[in-house]
């Protein structure tokens, strides 16, 4: 779980995130969050121009039934273990820069599958390091990456995703080694 410097997202004297149904037990919230976000993931994702606003809309779509702050950038510092994610005061600037880079590459159009996988891995590694939301970053990253890959002409077959291996590749990319993530994305391309 995340360590947060500020408890504005949690119920008093608790590590349970404040949520729309008012669940106060972590296990109950986790079950509810997984069920609701999975249900929303089965629906068509919001349309958009693959920019920051679109990314926020995807998060809002997936978590709208769970968190009142769905789609809003976090306002607290978060860490996982010894690793700190982007400080909240820098999130908007870093997101704008990342997505400007995406626009500059013409959204990865006309690339080979390997080139596309490498570029997606780099984008995803940076996006993960920014970690713009208090919760739900991984699922939003994956859904958005699938949207991006589809628009490049190299859609991802998420039924082939191996969660543990993909998580290990994401962790490795956070440490600066994007090769396992690129290889994992390439394997998912249809």
Tens-level pLDDT at each residue, the chain (190 residues): 455 545 799 999 899 999 999 999 999 999 999 999 999 999 999 999 999 999 999 999 999 999 999 999 999 999 888 889 999 999 999 999 999 998 877 767 788 999 999 999 999 999 999 999 999 999 999 999 999 999 889 999 999 999 999 999 999 999 999 999 999 999 999 7
pLDDT for 3: 52
State how far the Cα of 18 lies from the Cα of 33, in Å rounded to an integer.
12
Domain at 3-188: CATH architecture: Orthogonal Bundle (1.10)
In sequence order, the β-bridge partners of residue 189 are 156
* pLDDT the model gives residue 1: 46
Please give the pLDDT value at position 103: 81
- Taking alpha carbons only, the member of 37, 130, 122 closest to residue 78 is 130
- If one counts every other C-beta atom within 10 angstroms of the C-beta of residue 48, the result is 15
Q: What is the C-alpha end-to-end distance of the chain, expressed in Å?
A: 33
CA atoms within 13 A on the CB side of 127: 25
- Any bridge partners for residue 156, and if so which? 189
Check residue 190 and give its pLDDT.
Answer: 79
Cβ count within 10 A of residue 155? 15
């Amino acid at each position: 779980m995340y360590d947060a410097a500020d408890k504005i997202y949690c119920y008093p004297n608790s590590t349970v995130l404040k949520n729309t149904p008012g669940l106060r037990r972590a296990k109950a919230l986790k079950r509810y969050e997984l069920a609701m976000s999975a249900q929303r993931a089965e629906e068509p994702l919001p349309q958009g121009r693959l920019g920051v606003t679109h990314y926020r809309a995807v998060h809002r779509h997936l978590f709208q039934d769970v968190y009142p702050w769905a789609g809003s950038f976090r306002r607290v510092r978060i860490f996982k273990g010894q690793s700190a994610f982007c400080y909240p005061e820098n999130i908007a600037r870093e997101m704008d820069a990342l997505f400007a880079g995406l626009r500059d590459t013409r959204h990865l159009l006309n690339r080979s599958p390997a080139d596309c996988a490498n570029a997606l891995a780099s984008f995803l590694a940076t996006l993960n390091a920014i970690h713009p939301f208090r919760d739900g970053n991984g699922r939003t990253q994956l859904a958005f990456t699938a949207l991006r890959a589809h628009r490049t002409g190299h859609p991802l077959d998420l039924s082939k995703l191996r969660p543990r291996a993909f998580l290990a590749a994401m962790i490795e990319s956070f440490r600066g080694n994007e090769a396992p993530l690129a290889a994992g994305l390439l394997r998912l391309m249809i």
